[in-house]
A = this chain, B = another copy of it.
Amino acid sequence: MRVSSRFPIAVHTLLCITQFEHERKVTSTFIADSVNVNPVIIRKTLGELKAAGLARVDAGVGGAHLARPLSDITLLDILRAVEGPDAKLFGFHDNPNPACPVGHNIHAVLDGHLNATRHAFERELAGTTLADLKQRLSELTA
């Protein structure tokens, strides 16, 4: 049971950009050195953030930037950028037996609760923005 580490990697990537974009060129290699993963992973992550409208990347010359104000990027936006907008939080066994009353109704009985749980999960993530994280980071590095 795991939300992939691509999510914290994406958050880390965006924080690196906010922290350094005005003082140096923020390349995939620079970010990769902070995150401690391979630069290709950062390029893929940046590609997803770009597709989601959260980041811009200067092709050719290199360097990444935020595409929206910090306060307009939530943790949920970032999660959806890297996992896809309709990624499933819960797995489910395939083809429960329709001839058994339990198997026949298991989805009807459970799905609503699983969706409610996913909503609670997403609501919490939507309540935090990159501005909050940067604020906290400033306090820690002051």
Name A's B-contacting residues (CB within 8 A): 1-5, 7-9, 11-12, 15-16, 19, 33-37, 75, 83, 87-97, 100-103, 105-106, 108-110, 113-114, 116-117, 119-121, 123-125, 128, 133, 136-137, 140-141
B16 touches A102 (CB 8 A): yes
How far does the Cβ of A96 sit from chain B's closest Cβ, in whole Å? 6
B2 touches A103 (CB 8 A): no
Given contacts A12-B96, A102-B12, A109-B133, contact A7 B90 (CB under 8 A): yes
Question: In the complex the two chains form, what is the Cα distance from A128 to B116 in whole Å?
Answer: 11
How far does the Cβ of A125 sit from chain B's closest Cβ, in whole Å? 6
- 22 CB-based A-B contacts, threshold 8 Å: A1-B2, A1-B83, A1-B87, A1-B89, A3-B90, A3-B91, A5-B90, A8-B93, A8-B110, A8-B114, A12-B96, A12-B106, A34-B103, A35-B93, A35-B97, A36-B95, A36-B97, A101-B137, A101-B141, A102-B137, A105-B137, A117-B125
